[in-house]
Structure 1
Amino acid sequence: MKRTILLMILGLSAGLTHAETDPATAARAAAGQLEAASVSLEDAGSARDRVTALTDTVKAYEAGLSALREGLRRAAIREAQIGRELRAQEDEITRLLGVLQSMGSGPPPVMLLHPSGPTGTARSGMILADIAPALEARTAGLRADLEEVAILRDLQQGAADKLQQGMTGVQTARTELSKAIADRTDLPQRFLEDPVKTALLIASTETLEGFASGLTDIQDPNIAPAVPSDITSRKGDLPLPVEARVLRKANEADAAGIRRPGIVLATRPNALVVAPTAATIRYVGPLLNYDNVMILEPQAGMMFVLAGMKTAYGGNGQVIPEGSPIGLMGGEEAEMGAILSQSSDGTGNTRPETLYIEVRRDNTPVDPAEWFRTE
């Protein structure tokens, strides 16, 4: 029983939903994630490519924490479900306990005798033989439910300790990653920014779309050729740059009735954002009211616009490999008490941060769902 509830506590593993894998496989994957992340954080200091090692570490921590939060939510839902079932069957349970108590209160000879004589005794014995298995099964089910509730409550503290360790570990990994990126000098430089032209474009820009279009106009004619790549074959199969869910689809109206050609992703606070493919950084920095914006050029004539990061990594003109960290989302992680409170009422943790993604081809926006795996 304890193993069963442990599987529930551990919940989802990286890339594997409860429906896609058996509980044992999901448990092994989820249980190992935070432990593996802790080990990789220790090893990252001596890694040849610290940025890559720390990026993998942060992603492992984020996946493990997400799995643990989901496991706590499922456990809370299960505990509440059992509680409702027990309350609904309170009268039946009371009668069951009364029957069991009366059956065990008298001496065996008295229980087996019937006032009408041997025939009545035989009949009552047959009835007792019929109902005894049902009573036994019902009692066993009640005992199992009560044991499950006790185990759920007992494991909550253990899960909370693991969650606290993971939250501390991921924060350390993010700090180390920022330092490693600041020290990085191995990225090729495709062009050097013209700060005057960029500043004038920012000053005259009123929309994100207008800024992306303007980048093409101020491009230096002597710029080096684009990275020789063609991602057309990966259309529809590119990973999202951050662990998230789609909040709004392309051209779907928001609360103010505004429609945008990109998609809006809901992420957790401080989530790591990575490059979905190798690309040139055409622009990175604050813009309009989006906090930090990054515009990537994976190939000639195509741009990925990512807006809404609190921290952005890299510089204009750099060529970055696929999976490179390009920023962190903003926000503050919920306190442990709030996480456990949300888990206990079955709601889980919210995803309050949003990242906007726009895909432009030949300076025309196209639906990002055509390029990214959004389901």
Structure 2
Amino acid sequence: MTREYCDRCAVAEHLDALFGSLPPQPAAALAPLREALVAAEHPRTALTWLRNSASARILTDTAATGRLPTHADLDAIAASGRGATQRTDYLRGLLVACGTLPARDEHLAAIERHLTRTLTRHPQYAPLLRPYVRWSVMPRARRRAARRPSTRGRARWAYTRVNSAVAFLTHLAGLGLTLPEATQHHVDHWLAAGSSTSYELRDFLVWTADHGHSSDLLVPHRKKIESDGIDEDTHWDLLQRCLHDDSLPVDVRAAGALLLLFGQHLTRIVSLTTGHLGTHDGHTVLLLDHTPIRLPDPLAALLTRLAEAPKSGWRGNMPGTWLFPGSRPGTHRGTGSMARALAEHGIPIRPTRTTALVQLAQDMPPAVLAPLLGLHVVTALQWRRRAATDWTAYLQARQRALAAGRPTARP
């Protein structure tokens, strides 16, 4: 008790020394951060962070100038070298969670930073890459973010397109060619020698052709490899475990149930907030896109329990509405961490998602399925076709078994 009291007092004294010389306005803006650090579950950890961490030194150096760090300040530091992004992201999350900095879409900002880093290394490509990202990549990313919170996958989507464009332009430069001189032969040769991500060049070449920077060069769509599903009995058993097995962690149960019932990507699951839960006609509903989904009672109770569960660490004394809060302040849980947790408890991600979407596509037309789950209508149509193919294959197999006089398993 005495040790904890001394550590907590040391945190308060350190913060008083750090913020004591600030003008009233920045000091007031940092007050929520001070309260959160003083109230930290483990004051020794907070004290160690204040004394030793690189992110705390950024805060200390800025406070010494008598002002608050801004997003622009942190962006400039993030671009200064290896490891700087991680340090600034931690401090940024802390300041945003406390309301000291305004929230912004960090994944969109990361795309801008990636473009800046790329152009620093390859300034000769700026006349093509800058307008391509500004007028093609970013508008689509912003439109997507306006419909639902953007994810790290959206940033990787942009990174891959920029990197593919740079790699192809560099390849042409090695041949002594510019983009207007490139032919279909050059594109085909480059694709044959590259990895599957090389096919993301298609987006860049469509844009350059439309704007007169290249001839009409063809990059075929990369074929998606859909995972095989699992049998319905196994799928049902896994769902029952998630809904009723109290030996599983509640976050694993909730994420697994959402995966098994609605076929949601983990990126969508971990970014759900308490705002996605609501009530309608006395029933708990979940809003994945535009259409509220009435939840079965076990899942409704499970998600309510998850939302009301006490949080530890930063999560316990920081405001936030994530259903799956992350270990860093102001962030949700990472998809990698959640994927490992599901795998450890025997819940395969891709096969269960495939089975869930095939079953839903069998029961609902694409025009209903798309706004229900947040799918593009073309994607919903593809799942409908997949479901029809799977059902036809099942009927054919059943007919062959009956003709041979063999018993068949139930569907």
Shorter-normalised TM range: under 0.3
Greater Rg, structure 1 or structure 2? 1
Structure with greater proportional strand content? 1
